[in-house]
A and B are shown apart, each in its own frame.
Chain A
Amino acid sequence: MNPRRSFAAGTGLFILLGFAALAYLATQTSSVANFSSGPTYDVVAQFDNVGSLKDRAPVKIAGVRVGSVKSIQLDNQSMEAKVTLAIDTRYNDIPDDSFAKIMTSGLLGDQFVALSPGGSPDVLKNGSRIVNTQSAMQLEDLIGKFLVGGSSPAKSGSAGAAGGGKSGG
């Protein structure tokens, strides 16, 4: 009886360990870890271009996570991206003239929505709309600017500096 019981206990322990591993992987190492369980309110922001922003991307104020992207749709009238942000009700005093900006964490990191609080006495509520937005920075646009537009002021700047050096000497 005794060895049998130890088999059963060992088996139970093994199964428990297996499920604990699954639970750990599922809740601690996946996007579930980012879910805030509390109640949220929805705020809409329109962007010219959302870049590669994805559903469930974080919304941050001063680098602190306050919510997540709920949905991204195309607004048929303005032909802009309509992004719905779900913000924790804990953060219920964000000024309604806050500035929403799509930023990238690191060079290859994921994109997120950064909110810079404004100074208005009115706060964002469920269904409010963020008017001040800035689109995602497109790497292609940056390279284009650098190659075409950005090179000439740099040249003239260095030429001016050189000229200034000559005149000074």
Chain B
Amino acid sequence: MSADMKAGAPRGGMLVDGLAQVGACGLFLLGMLGAIPRSLRHLREISRQIWFVGAMSLVIIMISGLFVGMVLALQLYYTLSIFGGTAALGTVVALSLYRELGPVITALLFAGRAGTAMTAEIGLMRATDQLAAMEMMAVDPIAFVATPRFLAGVIAMPLLANVFSMLGLLGAHLVGVTWLGVDNGTFWSNMTSNVDVWKDIVNGTWKALAFGVVVSLIAVFQGYTAPPTSEGVAYATTRTVVFASIVVLALDFVMTAFLM
């Protein structure tokens, strides 16, 4: 598969290059999906990757969630107090977190924290001929290296997004109720009567899952196809963050339009 891409890359203008990249990425995804049954035999490797990609991202996700919730409460309190509607603070914070900020900010942080690590690791594996060595030993690097990381990212993203939303809510409660003096009962009861499980929480989780697929695919693909030089790995890592962020934000708009 990588031979196809090397042959296709130098020809044509930027548009053709871009299309070739998208096509190669799609084929890579199909290859990974096909390798899922084989990589399920390496369950221990998948769980190790979930640890690296998910559990190790918890700290940044939790701190960011807390501060995003706090600033959200502060800003919305100011805006809502213009209309005398600070009772709706809990509802507005919860809906913004579940529907939008939770999945999107988690995906962006995830691309920066875990995506880059995946790209750099796989890129260096290729640069130091570890992938070639695996092929030599009849170990399929797609099934043993790429797919476990991809699956780990897909599993970890929705969980991280939910942790983010929960910490965001805690931060909003801290600022709104403890500091600014919104009534605790009003905060919760307004929230519980306006937040819908399926429309808000489950749809947000679907979004996070889709972002997990996209970010992990881009990260693993960029690492797998990185030129085997230190410069090549550096570029691939940068591209992971840039492409993942753009695709997440664009996909977010499309998904919101469809899920509304």
Contacts and interface: CB of A to CB of B under 8 A. Distances in A.
B162 A18 contact: yes
Interface stretch (A23-31, A117-125, A155-163): A23-31
B225 interface: no
B28 to A, nearest CB: 25
B165 interface: yes
A32 B223 CA distance: 43
Q: Is the interface of B mostly helix, strand, loop or mixed?
A: helix
A4 B44 CA distance: 8
Interface in A92-122: 106-110
A46 to B, nearest CB: 24
A109 B166 contact: no
Contacts of A143: none
Interface in B57-86: 58, 83-85
Q: Is the interface of A mostly helix, strand, loop or mixed?
A: helix
B36 interface: no
Interface residues of B, number: 39
Contacts, number: 100
A11 B55 CA distance: 7
Interface of B: 44, 47-48, 50-51, 54-55, 58, 83-85, 87-88, 94, 98, 155-156, 158-160, 162-163, 165-166, 169, 186, 188, 190-197, 200-202, 205
Interface of A: 4, 7-8, 10-15, 17-19, 21-22, 24-26, 28-34, 57-58, 106-110
21 contacts: A10-B55, A11-B48, A11-B55, A15-B50, A15-B155, A18-B54, A18-B162, A18-B163, A21-B163, A22-B162, A22-B201, A25-B169, A26-B197, A26-B201, A30-B195, A31-B194, A31-B195, A34-B192, A57-B193, A106-B87, A106-B186
